Chains A and B, each alone.
Chain A
Amino acid sequence: MKSNDKGDRVNRREFLSSAAAAGVAAASLTNAQSAAAQQTGQSSAATPPTEAQLAMEYDDPSDYSAEEIDEYFVKYPGSDFMVDVIKALDIDYITTNPGSSFRGIHESIVNYGGNSKPELLTCPHEEQAIAMAHGYAKVAGKPLAMLAHGTVGFQHAAMAVYNAWCDRVPVVILGGNHYDATERRAGVEWAHSAQDAAIVVKDYVKWDDTPHSLQHFAESMMRAYKIAMTPPMGPVVVMIDGHLQEAEVGHQSLRIPAMSPTQPPVGDANSIAEAARWLVEAESPVIAADRMAHDQRGIDRLVELAEALQAPVVNLRGRLNFPNTHHLSQGSGELARADVILGLEVNDPWSLVNSLPDRVHRVPKRRGGADTRVISIGVNDLFIKSNYQNFQRYFAADLSIAGDAQATLPALTEAVKAQMSRARSRTNAERKQRWQESHAKRRAASLDAARYAWDASPVSTARVYMELWQLVRDRDWAMVSEDRQQRQWANRLWPMEKAYQFIGGSGGAGVGYGAPAAVGGALAHRAEGRLAINVQRDGDMMYVPGVFWTAAHHRIPLLTVTHNNRGYHQEFMHLQRMASRRLRGMDGSSLVGNTLSDPEPDLAKIAAGMGCWSTGPITEPGDVGPAIKRALDVIDNGEPAFVDVVCQPR
């Protein structure tokens, strides 16, 4: 890096002489203007500044100390170096809602960094900025950075940080703050500063630090990135002091350390051999995968293992994990029939073989056989915090292997193949045929189910997905939303084979993730020329609709089609359950507090108001396809498009 050259600095004599000359000129102008104003009778707008104005607007430099003169202009601010560090990490974007606590680095990104790698993306809300980073990372396979403005920024961002934490997704958060109380300007700067501004998210980030020097910042950034990207991945925070950003680098000799990615941990070899033995000897082995596949390699590796065993795979849909077109892709009902279950990065292993009914007296029920053995491979045990309970119920797996499942799969598959006897191998043909038949039946059942309410108004969710499919099937498409609340139609009916075609859900089930994560995912897909598709729930959209402005402003093509059921359907069902349990309120009272009506939000108008092309609300099923077709024309011009469809509840 460059260090400051004293020769570039402002010379004291030059500074004072230019200041004095400016002062004389200002005084002369003041006198001349005054005389002219008296002669011409000009209005007061042309009169010279008053003494009070002069006192307020003019600072006599003759009183400056050498230090003040030396720091009057900043040739190489600390935040320029910070940008160098960010560039070294190959971070493409920084999302932010602007704030004065990071005005230094904001300016550096634009004027020093050229607003490229990273490019600054304007977000009307910090929750949106983080959720965009969340969706982006799951597609791009690397994090983007987010700038949070001190106390207020972190509080706005908190919910989305929690989602990323639960979903094991890396996000690099840079937090502005002013640590030196004597340097804070009065008023807002105090309100936006804290001893520990990141404290609101500390329980759900992997690591945070408060660098006290630029070299400290550089090293902490490398450490933060490394930690964020090491499974279990997660968000990290590096605070950037306002003074550190704005002050001159001076004579510091700074260096940017190398980034040394940590190889993901692989499970213990002896335990892998034991797991392989169990799987080979099992009559009905079943594989359950949740947040397993980081990329296509994870899918390919799981296919190889599943085929070696001819074992069905239940995709718990934290990620795509397994091609749904493969004959071994099966439903969760297989778990109850298994004698050995292999769980890969399963968030809740307890529920693989147990359930807890939603009743007043909650007695766990065992699913399937009492002798079912569970092998768990994953990284959840490697990093856990205590306060937030997203780690789920304790479960004593019969064999628990700490290791990144994707990284461990090759060794496991090799061990399985090595242990396969001829007799066992011979059973694979019969198993394959059985699963092919089962897969075909499941496929037929899904198609059959999609017929029901095909012509209904409000439009059925199956109809929405299939109208979409008809128009996107020949493109390089990718879902950037979850389909869990639309009966998993995309997973059931669309052929999904590539890791980027489905990125799972929010992780923490914090509503408001959907729209911004979709825009973030679309941002990553834009670089690859893919069509990003977002089936948007109305309740979710009402949280941070400003993200559609971000999509329009930054020309992020995203096709959004709403699943607009005019309410918070999940909560309706909870309220109905409460009323039923209490023997009352079976008369529509469950709608109270759970509907988005009177007035119904006009989602298409909201999107249009944010600068997106939009159409709707559409209530007739026959109108859905033509509307999507028009939207695709917009998408092809590199713009986001929005189609509001009023749908069945689910």
Chain B
Amino acid sequence: MTALRISPLTVVALPLLLFGLNTAFAQDPEAPATDGKALYLSYQCWQCHGYEGQGGAAARLAGKQYPYAAFARFVRHPNLMPAYPPNLLSDDQLRRIFDFVRSIPEPPPLEDIPVLRENK
């Protein structure tokens, strides 16, 4: 599978780099949105959902086949996570994040991971 490869430095550097980009968006709504993966990182989704959407403090996103409407509902009116309203995260940006989450490749099957397979 293709895993996200993020150096420890990037963990901090990328959001800080994108801080500037995001500030630019706020000033110029016509500026092109970055791709979903970058938004996923800059909006800190990874902090609770993991770099690969595997879950963590919050639910796993990878591999879930929620329709966009359900996904948007969880983001706009969440029960547990912080709410992200449209004036902070536009519909377009949310859609791009959704597309990224849907595109996260499936991890290896259980059978291909010996230590998990042996513990079935």
Contacts and interface: CB of A to CB of B under 8 A. Distances in A.
A600 interface: yes
Interface string A590-633: 11000101101000000000000000010100000000000000
Contacts of B65: none
A487 B56 contact: yes
Interface in B4-38: 4-9, 11-12, 15-16, 18-19, 22-23
A493 B78 CA distance: 29
Nearest to B20: A587
Contacts of A450: 116
Nearest to B56: A650
A598 B10 CA distance: 12
Nearest to A357: B79
A452 B47 contact: no
A588 B15 contact: yes
Interface string A448-467: 11111111111011100011
Given A458-B8, A591-B15, A649-B56, A569 B108 contact: no
B112 to A, nearest CB: 9
B60 A458 contact: no
B47 to A, nearest CB: 5
Nearest to B26: A587
A152 to B, nearest CB: 36
- DSSP class of B's interface residues: helix, strand, loop or mixed? loop
Given A469-B115, A569-B47, A454 B107 contact: yes
B84 A580 contact: yes
Contacts, number: 151
A641 interface: no
Interface stretch (B66-74, B85-93, B95-103): B85-93
A449 B56 contact: no
B12 A595 contact: yes
Contacts of B46: 649
A451 B48 CA distance: 17
A586 B45 CA distance: 10
Contacts of B109: 451
B111 to A, nearest CB: 10
B72 to A, nearest CB: 16
A216 interface: no
Interface string B32-56: 0000000000111011101111111
Given A448-B110, A576-B82, A591-B16, A646 B50 contact: no
A29 interface: no
Interface residues of A, number: 52
Q: Looking at chain B, what size class is its interface with the partner chain?
A: 35 or more
Most chain A beta-carbon contacts within 10 A, residue among B44, B50, B120:
B44
A577 interface: yes
A589 interface: yes
Given A451-B109, A452-B60, A588-B18, A457 B5 contact: yes
Contact of B115 (A458, A470, A617): A470
A573 B47 contact: yes
Given A447-B120, A493-B119, A454 B108 contact: yes
B44 A458 contact: no
B110 A648 contact: no
Given A449-B60, A452-B63, A454-B107, A649 B116 contact: no
B48 A649 contact: yes
Given A457-B5, A646-B8, A583 B87 contact: yes
Contacts of B50: 452-453, 456, 460, 648-650
Contact of A458 (B6, B15, B18): B6
Contacts of A456: 3-5, 50-52, 54
Contacts of A493: 119
B12 A451 contact: no
B8 A566 contact: yes
B16 A453 contact: no
B108 A458 contact: no
Contacts of B113: 451, 454
Given A449-B60, A452-B107, A617 B51 contact: no
Contacts of A648: 50-51, 54, 56
B79 A451 contact: no
A462 B110 CA distance: 13
A589 B26 CA distance: 15
Contact of B82 (A454, A580, A598): A580
Contacts of A452: 50, 52-55, 60, 62-63, 107
Contacts of B79: 357
Contacts of B22: 586-588
A579 interface: yes
B116 A466 contact: yes
Interface in A450-509: 450-458, 460-462, 466-467, 469-470, 487, 493
Contacts of A357: 79
A581 B57 contact: no
A455 B8 contact: no
Most chain B beta-carbon contacts within 10 A, residue among A461, A469, A576:
A576
Nearest to A444: B120
A325 B67 CA distance: 36
B57 A453 contact: no
B12 to A, nearest CB: 5
B48 A573 contact: yes
A572 interface: yes
Given A451-B108, A451-B113, A581-B82, A619 B57 contact: no
Given A588-B16, A649-B48, A573 B57 contact: yes
Given A448-B110, A598-B12, A457 B55 contact: no
A444 B107 CA distance: 16
B8 A579 contact: no
23 contacts: A447-B110, A449-B60, A451-B107, A451-B109, A451-B110, A452-B55, A452-B62, A453-B50, A456-B3, A487-B55, A487-B56, A493-B119, A572-B44, A580-B88, A586-B43, A586-B89, A587-B42, A587-B43, A588-B19, A589-B19, A590-B47, A595-B12, A617-B8
Given A447-B119, A451-B107, A650-B50, 19 more contacts: A455-B1, A456-B50, A457-B5, A458-B6, A458-B8, A458-B51, A462-B54, A469-B119, A576-B44, A580-B88, A586-B43, A587-B15, A587-B18, A587-B43, A588-B18, A588-B42, A591-B12, A648-B51, A649-B47
